[in-house]
Amino acid sequence: MSRKIDRKGAEFVFLPLGGVGEIGMNLYLYGYGRDGAREWLIVDMGVTFGGEAEPGVDVILPDIRFIEEERHNIAGLLLTHAHEDHFGAVIDLWPQLAGVPVYATPFTAEMLKSKLAEIGLVNGFPLQVMPLGDRRSIGPFDVELISMSHSIPEPSAVVIRTPLGAALHTGDWKLDENPLTSAPTDAERLKALGEDGLVALICDSTNAVRDGVSPSEADVAVTLARLIREAPRRVAVTIFASNVARIGSVANAARAAGRELVVVGRAMFRVIEAAQATGYLDLNLAFHEETAFDKLPPHKIVALCTGSQGEPRAAMARIAQGEHPNVKLDAGDMVIFSSRTIPGNEKAVSRIQNALADLRVEVVTDQDAAVHVSGHPRRGELEQLYGWVRPTVAIPMHGEGRHLEAHAKFAEKLGVKQVVRARNGAMVRLLPGPAAIIDDVPVGRLYRDGLIVTRADDGQVRERRKLSFVGSVAVSLVLSEKGHLLADPEVALTGLPAADNEGSSMAEIARDAVIGTIESIPRARRKDQALVSEAVRRSVRAAVNQAWGKKPVCSVLLTVL
Ligand SMILES: [Zn+2]
Ligand SMILES: [Zn+2]
């Protein structure tokens, strides 16, 4: 794979295509070589989720047109961990990558394989398993994985070495000596890296607005055990399915309280299987499927549920609405939200919490007790890392604008020589220094819309959003070749009020506008079908606007016999 690249004139560049200035869709490129002859290492390929602004869109992916153009110069795709915002786009986008090998640690590989298995694709997928701590060549890059703490097994930072120097890409991390899954942050290795001399630190910014250090996953385990022990009746705990440490903590708490664990939600089973296959959960972990729920007495149950983000089809939402086929909660039961609400999901989560309160179910969140800890570094942790690796250049990533800016200011305060504020699409030359933004490449978003992946600017989702505000009117017209109306026009209204404030039918208002318009067009000109359609469309929108105060979308189907 590796071509000999002349070091003379070569540059080491960093290019974020997602993950800076927004939530999710982490996608970063590291390049080595001269302009026009660079080889690339891709780090992560994640998604974010559609909200109310993207009706009907479940998943938003990064636009990879730059990668497609460069696909013959891509040495590999390396995944830092199995969170959706880091690896969720691989399956949709890898066909465009022309067989580029995908490197992942055993747990991440297992999670990817279970997704591939769902679509029958495991064989032939170019997956290379690379354990934590491993070091190998990928194209012109010498790549090493360093163990970090986070909220999933095997999160890794990546050291990317080139003949010009080295960069450290942290992935998602925190300092937690007790992450309760894979090995904690490898401080010794990071310190050694600082000794060797590191050029650039490209680092997680999520919690750069917060002082201090994040509490440990072990603290959460203690709180969950207490709450479950003291609860008088059923307890349901909702978590991010991928939080294997938390699954283990809930299972242990259930066992210690003499309760049975019931697992609710398909995503949770997938994670449990992957964690058992890689040694992060006990193979003898005892749990029931959800059909056992109503056979167990209330004081003997702990249910572990998906849907902590208010996802409407996940277990927790259906339980709260009383629509779950097997799991019902009622007065005196407890639901623990052992999770953080991702910005954008607040309304959906509070709808569920209100529905539970209406059932007189007690709701416990991280506002009430230490039932969740973040997997990202606060300033105290950032300060430690900067002290260990002592980079010449800092580039904040993984955060919204205010996180990135807080991180940049903090890095300056810590005395980092150069802080680069890059946004998606900005190509940063790391070496030879000083670092500088040297180019801009196109970036954007793709929507997974049903079975189809489209560009966000293709417009159908924008149109759908418009329909959700103003509804639509379809008009069917039949004209003779000479321009006579051969039948009464038909109108079909979707999403409009039935009548105006005076009680006149909205359909009649639309139909009158159609007839009035046709009659106002001289017969000779009615042969111009485009003119007729456009005139009808405009008049319907204007007439409805006068009656309703809103202009619906209007389509005209014109038949000439
Ligand atoms: Zn993560
Ligand atoms: Zn992340």
Query: In which residue are the tokens 């159908």 written?
Result: 460
Please give the pLDDT value at position 22. Answer: 81
Please, are residues 10 and 164 in contact by the beta-carbon 8 Å criterion? yes
Residue 3 has pLDDT above 70, yes or no: no
Return the number of other C-beta atoms located less than 10 Å from residue 84's C-beta: 19
pLDDT digits over 259-287, tens only? 999 999 999 999 999 999 999 999 988 89
Please give the pLDDT value at position 6. Answer: 58
Please give the pLDDT value at position 205. Answer: 98
Give the 3-state secondary structure of residue 263. strand
pLDDT digits over 72-127, tens only? 999 999 999 999 999 999 999 998 987 899 999 999 999 999 999 988 887 889 99
- The CA distance from 259 to 531, in Å, is 73
Please report which residue ranges of 390-483 form alpha helices under DSSP H. Answer: 401-413, 460-470
Structure tokens at 271: 């994670």
Band of residue 458 on the pLDDT scale cut at 50, 70, 90: confident
Q: What is the mean pLDDT of the chain?
A: 95
% of the chain beyond a pLDDT of 90:
91
Structure tokens at 40: 């690339």
**CA dihedral of 138, 142, 146, 152, whole degrees rounded to 10:** -20
Mean pLDDT of 305-322: 95
Q: Counting ligands in written order, which one lies closest to the CA of residue 46?
A: 2
**Cα(419) to centroid(ligand 1), Å:** 24
Please give the pLDDT value at position 457. Answer: 87
pLDDT digits over 183-206, tens only? 999 999 999 999 999 999 999 999
Please give the pLDDT value at position 486. Answer: 94
The kind and range of the H/E element at 103 are strand 102-104
Please give the pLDDT value at position 268. Answer: 95
CA end-to-end span of the chain, whole Å?
65
Band of residue 363 on the pLDDT scale cut at 50, 70, 90: very high
Residue 424 has pLDDT above 50, yes or no: yes
Band of residue 30 on the pLDDT scale cut at 50, 70, 90: very high
Question: Which residues have their alpha-adjacent CB atom under 5 A from ion ligand 1?
Answer: 83, 172
- The CA distance from 392 to 54, in Å, is 41
**Using the 8-state DSSP alphabet, how is residue 26 labeled?**
-
**Cα(205) to centroid(ligand 1), Å:** 12
- The CA distance from 377 to 398, in Å, is 11
pLDDT digits over 467-480, tens only? 999 999 999 999 99
- The CA distance from 476 to 489, in Å, is 6
The kind and range of the H/E element at 276 are helix 266-277
Band of residue 4 on the pLDDT scale cut at 50, 70, 90: low
Structure tokens at 392: 């010449």
Return the number of other C-beta atoms located less than 10 Å from residue 22's C-beta: 18
**Cα(81) to centroid(ligand 1), Å:** 7
Residue 500 has pLDDT above 60, yes or no: yes
**Cα(87) to centroid(ligand 1), Å:** 10
Give the 3-state secondary structure of residue 555. strand
Residue 1 has pLDDT above 60, yes or no: no
Return the number of other C-beta atoms located less than 10 Å from residue 544's C-beta: 25
Structure tokens at 317: 């939402």
pTM value is 0.93
